[in-house]
Amino acid sequence: MAGPVNRIIFMGTPDFAVPSLKALLDSGANVVCVITQPDRPKGRGRKITPPPVKKIALQADIPVLQPEKIRDGGFIARLTEFNPDLIVLTAYGRILPAELIDLPPHGTINVHASLLPKYRGAAPIQWALINGEAETGVTIMQMDEGLDTGDILLAEKLPISPDDTAGSLFMKLAELGGTALKKALAQLKVNKLTPIKQDDSLATHAPLLKKEDGLVDWSRSAEQISCLIRGLDPWPTTYTFLSGKRFRLFSPLVIKQNDCQSSASGHGIVCRADHDGLLVKTGKGSLLIREVQPEGSKRMTVDAFLRGHPITTGIRLGL
């Protein structure tokens, strides 16, 4: 890629994209336009709320476009008026047409929350946790028409902590994305970015999650269930059933030693219920659940839950 990078269009929508936009502004980049999703109803009151990226753009007096359709010829024509040298995309939320990707001389680069080619798709943060990865990271990628298949321009690694959830990892990777983007842009300006083709044979995928994905199978190992709980926190969350009612699970701790003694056989048996949490027998090892959310109630510690809802040891979760 050659030529100056004087005019940038930024495309992004949720909180994850905010550090990327801020990184561009902090580095002195000339962001001539921000494209984000339309304002949507949010919260219990369904109040029309602007995307987080829009708020930052307006504070910086940057023009904001919020098209319902990005494949509209009139919208593409509108973008040409900004004469961009580069488009930067972070979690915009829609698939871009080739006409838009190739609009600027430097094309479009994307901030993706995985170490590509692993975890291509919409939920890379969650799937890295669900699958028990030891590390993840951010990839700055030259976009093409495929699903996260473009050339790698820069990658930054991040270790995954044993207590990380999708929520905590989301924030870490968002900040890392801003840092990596700033570094990539600096290298791009002096023509020092070397595109590296992805090895498709190493690709894995991270499809959107559904609420049903959160149902716990207690025959799986404590480690696997722990990864699922952390990967689906805060959304869509994991759940089991207690006395026929949905019971959401949070803050797991794998107990490797065999201290889950119970006369009842099978998986999902509560071996202990006290201020430390619920100790549950799994297919391999035991799992201590330290926070729960009963159906129709808020998230709370197990200690708080047990004060009004005592649980008898030997009861089976999932029924």
58-62, 71-75, 89-93: range with lowest mean pLDDT: 71-75
Q: How many domains does the chain have?
A: 2
1 domain residue, yes or no: no
Strands 8-12 and 86-90: parallel
Average predicted confidence (pLDDT) for the chain = 94
CATH number of the domain enclosing 240: 3.10.25.10
Point out the domain boundary residue: 202, 226, 244.
202
Does residue 52 have a cis bond before it (omega within 30 degrees)? Answer: no
Question: 95 near 110, Cβ under 8 Å?
Answer: no
Quickly state the pLDDT bin for 65 (edges 50, 70, 90). Answer: very high
CB atoms within 10 A of CB 191: 10
Kindly state whether residues 79 and 37 are assigned to the same domain.
Answer: yes
Kindly state whether residues 282 and 215 are assigned to the same domain.
Answer: yes
34 domain residue, yes or no: yes
Point out the domain boundary residue: 202, 230, 252.
202
CA–CA dist 176, 173 (Å, integer): 5
Question: 256 near 162, Cβ under 8 Å?
Answer: no
Kindly state whether residues 12 and 138 are assigned to the same domain.
Answer: yes
Kindly state whether residues 185 and 230 are assigned to the same domain.
Answer: no
Question: 306 near 297, Cβ under 8 Å?
Answer: no
316 domain residue, yes or no: no
Q: What is the DSSP string of 26-68?
A: HTT--EEEEE-PPPEEETTTTEEE--HHHHHHHHTT--EE--S
The pLDDT value recorded for residue 43 is: 80
Q: pLDDT (tens digit, 9 = 90+) per residue, 286-315?
A: 999 999 999 999 999 999 999 999 999 999
Quickly state the pLDDT bin for 256 (edges 50, 70, 90). Answer: confident
The pLDDT value recorded for residue 163 is: 95
318 domain residue, yes or no: no
What range defines the domain where residue 173 resides?
A: 8-202
What CA dihedral angle connects 262, 264, 265 and 269, to 10 degrees? -70
Kindly state whether residues 117 and 151 are assigned to the same domain.
Answer: yes
What's the distance, CA 31 to chain centroid? 25
Kindly state whether residues 16 and 131 are assigned to the same domain.
Answer: yes
Kindly state whether residues 38 and 164 are assigned to the same domain.
Answer: yes
The pLDDT value recorded for residue 3 is: 75
Q: pLDDT (tens digit, 9 = 90+) per residue, 132-150?
A: 999 999 999 999 999 999 9
Q: pLDDT (tens digit, 9 = 90+) per residue, 174-230?
A: 999 999 999 999 999 898 999 999 999 999 999 999 999 999 999 999 999 999 999
The pLDDT value recorded for residue 90 is: 98
Kindly state whether residues 89 and 112 are assigned to the same domain.
Answer: yes
CATH number of the domain enclosing 134: 3.40.50.170
Helix segments in 190-284, DSSP class H = 222-231
246 domain residue, yes or no: yes
Kindly state whether residues 44 and 134 are assigned to the same domain.
Answer: yes
Question: 110 near 143, Cβ under 8 Å?
Answer: yes
Kindly state whether residues 197 and 293 are assigned to the same domain.
Answer: no
Kindly state whether residues 161 and 254 are assigned to the same domain.
Answer: no
Q: Given a cut of 60, is residue 40 above it in pLDDT?
A: yes
317 domain residue, yes or no: no
Kindly state whether residues 92 and 33 are assigned to the same domain.
Answer: yes
Both structure tokens of 23: 């990184």
313 domain residue, yes or no: no
Point out the domain boundary residue: 151, 177, 202.
202
Q: Given a cut of 90, is residue 264 above it in pLDDT?
A: no
Q: To which H or E segment does residue 140 belong?
A: strand 135-142
Question: 151 near 127, Cβ under 8 Å?
Answer: no
